[in-house]
Protein backbone atom coordinates (compact mmCIF):
# COMPACT_ATOMS: atom_id res chain seq x y z
CA UNK A 1 0.00 0.00 0.00
CA UNK A 2 1.43 3.42 -0.95
CA UNK A 3 2.35 5.89 1.78
CA UNK A 4 0.43 9.14 2.25
CA UNK A 5 3.40 11.01 0.79
CA UNK A 6 3.34 8.81 -2.33
CA UNK A 7 -0.42 9.28 -2.66
CA UNK A 8 0.04 13.06 -2.48
CA UNK A 9 2.74 12.98 -5.17
CA UNK A 10 0.50 10.95 -7.49
CA UNK A 11 -2.52 13.15 -6.92
CA UNK A 12 -0.49 16.33 -7.52
CA UNK A 13 0.73 14.90 -10.83
CA UNK A 14 -2.79 13.85 -11.91
CA UNK A 15 -4.35 17.22 -11.05
CA UNK A 16 -1.56 19.15 -12.82
CA UNK A 17 -2.18 17.04 -15.95
CA UNK A 18 -5.91 17.81 -15.75
CA UNK A 19 -5.26 21.54 -15.41
CA UNK A 20 -2.68 21.55 -18.22
CA UNK A 21 -5.31 20.04 -20.55
CA UNK A 22 -7.76 22.89 -19.93
CA UNK A 23 -8.15 25.65 -22.54
CA UNK A 24 -7.09 29.18 -21.49
CA UNK A 25 -10.65 30.45 -21.97
CA UNK A 26 -11.99 27.68 -19.73
CA UNK A 27 -9.46 28.60 -17.02
CA UNK A 28 -10.40 32.28 -17.29
CA UNK A 29 -14.14 31.54 -16.96
CA UNK A 30 -13.39 29.37 -13.93
CA UNK A 31 -11.27 32.14 -12.35
CA UNK A 32 -14.00 34.73 -12.98
CA UNK A 33 -16.63 32.55 -11.26
CA UNK A 34 -14.35 31.72 -8.30
CA UNK A 35 -13.35 35.37 -7.79
CA UNK A 36 -16.95 36.63 -7.99
CA UNK A 37 -17.97 34.16 -5.29
CA UNK A 38 -14.97 35.14 -3.12
CA UNK A 39 -15.63 38.88 -3.47
CA UNK A 40 -19.31 38.37 -2.54
CA UNK A 41 -18.42 36.89 0.87
CA UNK A 42 -19.42 39.13 3.80
CA UNK A 43 -16.11 38.29 5.51
CA UNK A 44 -14.21 39.65 2.49
CA UNK A 45 -16.39 42.77 2.26
CA UNK A 46 -15.85 43.53 5.96
CA UNK A 47 -12.14 42.68 6.11
CA UNK A 48 -9.57 45.46 6.35
CA UNK A 49 -6.57 43.17 5.81
CA UNK A 50 -6.49 40.01 3.73
CA UNK A 51 -3.81 37.46 2.97
CA UNK A 52 -3.96 36.26 -0.64
CA UNK A 53 -1.53 34.57 -3.01
CA UNK A 54 -0.25 35.49 -6.47
CA UNK A 55 -1.46 32.53 -8.55
CA UNK A 56 0.84 30.67 -10.92
CA UNK A 57 -0.78 30.57 -14.40
CA UNK A 58 -2.06 27.13 -15.34
CA UNK A 59 -1.51 25.72 -11.85
CA UNK A 60 -3.62 28.01 -9.63
CA UNK A 61 -6.35 30.58 -10.16
CA UNK A 62 -4.60 33.67 -11.56
CA UNK A 63 -5.28 35.98 -8.63
CA UNK A 64 -3.37 39.05 -9.83
CA UNK A 65 -6.57 40.90 -10.80
CA UNK A 66 -8.23 39.86 -7.53
CA UNK A 67 -5.25 41.20 -5.54
CA UNK A 68 -5.27 44.46 -7.51
CA UNK A 69 -9.06 44.84 -7.19
CA UNK A 70 -9.02 44.46 -3.41
CA UNK A 71 -6.06 46.85 -3.07
CA UNK A 72 -7.92 49.39 -5.24
CA UNK A 73 -10.84 49.13 -2.78
CA UNK A 74 -8.47 50.38 -0.08
CA UNK A 75 -7.98 47.00 1.58
CA UNK A 76 -4.58 45.94 2.85
CA UNK A 77 -3.64 42.87 0.83
CA UNK A 78 -0.74 40.74 1.98
CA UNK A 79 1.11 38.21 -0.11
CA UNK A 80 3.41 35.41 1.02
CA UNK A 81 7.16 35.76 1.10
CA UNK A 82 9.07 32.52 1.60
CA UNK A 83 11.82 32.42 4.22
CA UNK A 84 14.66 29.98 4.94
CA UNK A 85 13.80 26.82 6.91
CA UNK A 86 10.41 26.63 5.15
CA UNK A 87 9.09 29.68 6.94
CA UNK A 88 6.71 32.23 5.50
CA UNK A 89 5.82 35.83 6.24
CA UNK A 90 3.17 38.13 4.83
CA UNK A 91 4.24 41.34 3.11
CA UNK A 92 1.92 44.14 1.98
CA UNK A 93 1.16 44.31 -1.75
CA UNK A 94 1.86 47.79 -3.06
CA UNK A 95 0.62 48.26 -6.64
CA UNK A 96 3.34 50.78 -7.43
CA UNK A 97 6.18 48.52 -6.24
CA UNK A 98 7.36 45.76 -8.63
CA UNK A 99 6.99 42.18 -7.47
CA UNK A 100 10.06 39.91 -7.37
CA UNK A 101 10.14 36.51 -9.10
CA UNK A 102 11.66 33.74 -6.98
CA UNK A 103 11.97 29.97 -7.41
CA UNK A 104 9.25 27.90 -9.12
CA UNK A 105 7.97 30.99 -10.97
CA UNK A 106 6.46 32.45 -7.79
CA UNK A 107 6.08 36.23 -7.52
CA UNK A 108 6.50 37.88 -4.10
CA UNK A 109 6.54 41.40 -2.71
CA UNK A 110 10.09 42.64 -2.12
CA UNK A 111 11.68 42.33 1.32
CA UNK A 112 11.29 46.11 1.67
CA UNK A 113 7.46 45.83 1.62
CA UNK A 114 5.79 46.36 5.01
CA UNK A 115 5.21 43.25 7.09
CA UNK A 116 1.60 42.27 7.91
CA UNK A 117 1.30 40.49 11.24
CA UNK A 118 -0.85 37.38 11.43
CA UNK A 119 -3.14 39.00 14.02
CA UNK A 120 -3.84 41.95 11.68
CA UNK A 121 -5.32 39.69 8.99
CA UNK A 122 -9.03 38.88 9.00
CA UNK A 123 -9.25 36.63 5.90
CA UNK A 124 -6.71 34.27 4.34
CA UNK A 125 -7.16 32.81 0.86
CA UNK A 126 -5.26 29.52 0.97
CA UNK A 127 -3.75 28.10 -2.24
CA UNK A 128 -3.77 24.40 -3.08
CA UNK A 129 -3.23 21.96 -5.89
CA UNK A 130 -6.79 20.81 -5.10
CA UNK A 131 -9.25 20.39 -2.22
CA UNK A 132 -11.74 17.80 -1.09
CA UNK A 133 -15.36 18.20 -0.01
CA UNK A 134 -14.30 18.20 3.67
CA UNK A 135 -12.24 21.38 2.98
CA UNK A 136 -8.86 19.68 3.29
CA UNK A 137 -6.24 20.79 0.80
CA UNK A 138 -3.49 19.13 -1.10
CA UNK A 139 -0.72 21.68 -0.94
CA UNK A 140 2.41 21.91 -3.02
CA UNK A 141 4.47 19.84 -0.59
CA UNK A 142 6.50 22.41 1.33
CA UNK A 143 4.28 22.71 4.40
CA UNK A 144 4.58 26.53 4.41
CA UNK A 145 0.86 27.19 4.71
CA UNK A 146 0.11 24.41 7.22
CA UNK A 147 2.74 25.90 9.53
CA UNK A 148 1.51 29.47 9.02
CA UNK A 149 -2.17 28.54 9.42
CA UNK A 150 -1.62 26.66 12.68
CA UNK A 151 -1.50 29.98 14.55
CA UNK A 152 -4.03 31.93 12.45
CA UNK A 153 -7.28 32.98 14.14
CA UNK A 154 -9.00 34.59 11.13
CA UNK A 155 -11.31 33.19 8.46
CA UNK A 156 -9.78 30.86 5.88
CA UNK A 157 -11.09 30.32 2.36
CA UNK A 158 -10.05 27.94 -0.40
CA UNK A 159 -10.83 28.14 -4.10
CA UNK A 160 -10.95 24.93 -6.13
CA UNK A 161 -11.94 24.35 -9.71
CA UNK A 162 -14.92 21.98 -9.77
CA UNK A 163 -13.12 19.66 -12.21
CA UNK A 164 -10.33 18.90 -9.70
CA UNK A 165 -12.44 18.75 -6.52
CA UNK A 166 -11.64 15.42 -4.85
CA UNK A 167 -13.85 13.14 -2.75
CA UNK A 168 -10.93 12.99 -0.28
CA UNK A 169 -7.30 14.10 -0.42
CA UNK A 170 -4.59 12.14 1.40
CA UNK A 171 -4.21 13.64 4.90
CA UNK A 172 -1.62 13.78 7.62
CA UNK A 173 -1.99 15.01 11.21
CA UNK A 174 -0.51 18.46 10.42
CA UNK A 175 -2.84 19.16 7.46
CA UNK A 176 -5.13 22.15 8.05
CA UNK A 177 -8.55 22.56 6.50
CA UNK A 178 -10.16 25.85 5.53
CA UNK A 179 -13.31 27.31 7.05
CA UNK A 180 -14.95 27.69 3.64
CA UNK A 181 -14.28 26.11 0.26
CA UNK A 182 -15.69 27.61 -2.92
CA UNK A 183 -15.90 26.03 -6.36
CA UNK A 184 -17.54 27.65 -9.37
CA UNK A 185 -20.86 26.07 -8.32
CA UNK A 186 -20.61 24.78 -4.75
CA UNK A 187 -19.83 25.93 -1.25
CA UNK A 188 -18.51 23.67 1.51
CA UNK A 189 -18.34 24.92 5.09
CA UNK A 190 -18.51 23.72 8.69
Mean pLDDT on 45-72: 94
Model confidence band, residue 13 (pLDDT cutoffs 50, 70, 90): very high
pLDDT score of 14: 96
User: Which residues have CB under 8 Å from 162's CB, separation 6+?
Assistant: 30, 183, 184, 185, 186
Q: What is the mean pLDDT of the chain?
A: 93
DSSP-assigned letters across all residues of 23-36: -HHHHHHHHHHHHH
Model confidence band, residue 52 (pLDDT cutoffs 50, 70, 90): very high
pLDDT score of 59: 84
134 vs 4, 121, 167, 173, 187, CA distance in Å? 17, 24, 8, 15, 11
Q: Which helix (H) or strand (E) holds 156?
A: strand 155-159
pLDDT score of 84: 84
Q: Which carries the bigger pLDDT value, residue 174 or residue 188?
A: 188
Mean pLDDT on 38-47: 98
DSSP label at residue 144: H
Are the CB atoms for 56 and 127 separated by under 8 Å? Answer: no
Amino acid sequence: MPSTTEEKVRLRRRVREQLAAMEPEELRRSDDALFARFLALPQVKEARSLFLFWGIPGREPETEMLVRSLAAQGKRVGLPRMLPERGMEVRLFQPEVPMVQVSFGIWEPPESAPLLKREEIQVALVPAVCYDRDRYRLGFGGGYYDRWLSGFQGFTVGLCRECVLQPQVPREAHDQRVDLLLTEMHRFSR
